[in-house]
Amino acid sequence: MLVSCSKESSIDFNQAPAEGESSQERAESIREAFKEAPTDNPASEAITRDIQRTFTAMAKAGHSYDVDATLNFIDFESLFQVMNTASPNAKLSEKQQNGFVDGIHKGARTRWFQKDQGIFDWIEVKIMRVETSEDDNLALVYARHFTTEQGADTKARWWLHHTDQGWRIYDWEYLDTSIRMSRLLLAGRDALVEKGSSWTKSLPALQSARKELLNGNFQQALDILTTGNQAELPLELRAVRLEYIAICYRSLGKPANALQSIESALRLKPDFPDAVYTRARIQFDLENYEAARADFEQYLHTLGSDADALTGLADCLTWLDKNDEAKEAYRASLRDQPTYDALLGLAYVTAPTDADELAGWFSKLSDPDVNYDMIIVELYDNQGMLEVSEAINEAYRKVSPDDTDLAWYTARIALDHDDPKKAAATLKPAIERAPDDETQAFQELYWMAMARAGESTTALREAGRSQEAFEYLADECHDNWDGEALDALCEEFREGNEEQTVLHFYLAEADFIREDYLHAEGHFRVGYKLAKAGDPLYPGLVHGLLDSMNSLDRGNEGYVEVGKTKDAFAYLAGLLFNAENSESLQALIEAHAEVHADDLELVHYRGELAWLTKDWKQAAKELSAYLAKGEIEEISWWVLDRCVRAAIRAQDYELAESEAKKGLGDPDNYLLIVVSVAKDSPAAAMQAVDTYLAASEDPEDAGWWVTHRSEE
Q: What is the pLDDT of residues 95-116, one digit of tens each?
A: 777 777 777 778 788 778 776 6
User: Mean per-residue pLDDT for 591-615?
Assistant: 97
CA atoms within 13 A on the CB side of 32: 14
For 338-354, the pLDDT digits (tens) are 999 999 999 999 866 78
pLDDT value at position 100? Answer: 74
- The dihedral region occupied by 564, where left means phi > 0, alpha psi between -120 and 50, and beta the remainder, is left
Whole-number pLDDT of residue 324? 94
DSSP per-residue letters across 445-491: HHHHHHHHTT-HHHHHHHTTT-HHHHHHHHHHHHHTT-HHHHHHHHH
Section 16-22 average pLDDT? 91
The residue-averaged pLDDT of 636-648 equals 96
Residue 525 has pLDDT above 80, yes or no: yes
Q: Which residues are CB-contacts of 350 (< 8 A; sequence separation ≥ 6)?
A: 327, 357, 358
Report the C-alpha gap between 605 and 622 in whole angstroms.
Answer: 8
Q: Are 173 and 179 in contact (CB under 8 A)?
A: yes
For residue 17, give the amino acid letter.
P
Q: What is the mean pLDDT of residues 151-161?
A: 89
Question: Residue 630 and residue 601: Cα distance in Å, rounded?
Answer: 9
Cα–Cα distance for residue pair 166/172, rounded to 1 Å: 17
Q: Which helix (H) or strand (E) holds 26?
A: helix 23-34
What is the reported pLDDT for 325?
97
| Model pLDDT, residue 7 | 41
> Which of helix, strand or coil describes residue 423?
helix
Q: According to the model, what pLDDT value does residue 53 have?
A: 96
Q: Is the peptide bond between 88 and the residue preceding it cis, with omega within 30 degrees of 0?
A: no
User: Average pLDDT of 118-125?
Assistant: 84
Summarize pLDDT for 557-580 with one digit per residue, the tens: 999 999 999 999 999 999 999 999
Model confidence pLDDT, tens digit, residues 227-251: 866 667 888 899 999 999 999 999 9
On average, the pLDDT of the chain sits at 90
Q: What mean pLDDT do residues 362-385 have? A: 90
- CA neighbours closer than 13 Å in the CB half-sphere of residue 107: 17
**DSSP codes of every residue in 155-178:** EEEEEEEEETTEEEEEEEEETTTT
- Bridge partners of 173, per DSSP, are 157, 180
pLDDT of 5 reads 38
pLDDT average, residue stretch 450-466 = 97
Taking residues 651-666, report their average pLDDT.
94
What are the tens digits of pLDDT across the range 273-313?
999 999 999 999 999 999 999 999 999 999 999 999 999 99
* pLDDT at residue 189, rounded to an integer: 74
Annotate 204-230 with DSSP letters as a single string: HHHHHHHHHHHTT-HHHHHHHHTSS--
Please answer whether residues 160 and 167 qualify as being in contact, where contact means their C-beta atoms are separated by less than 8 angstroms: yes
pLDDT for residue 10 is more than 70: no
CA angle 120, 126, 132 (to 5 degrees): 100
Instruction: Give the pLDDT of residue 133.
Output: 94
One-letter identity of residue 539: P
Domains in the chain, CATH or no CATH each:
1-197 (3.10.450)
| Pairing status of strand 153-163 against strand 138-146 | antiparallel
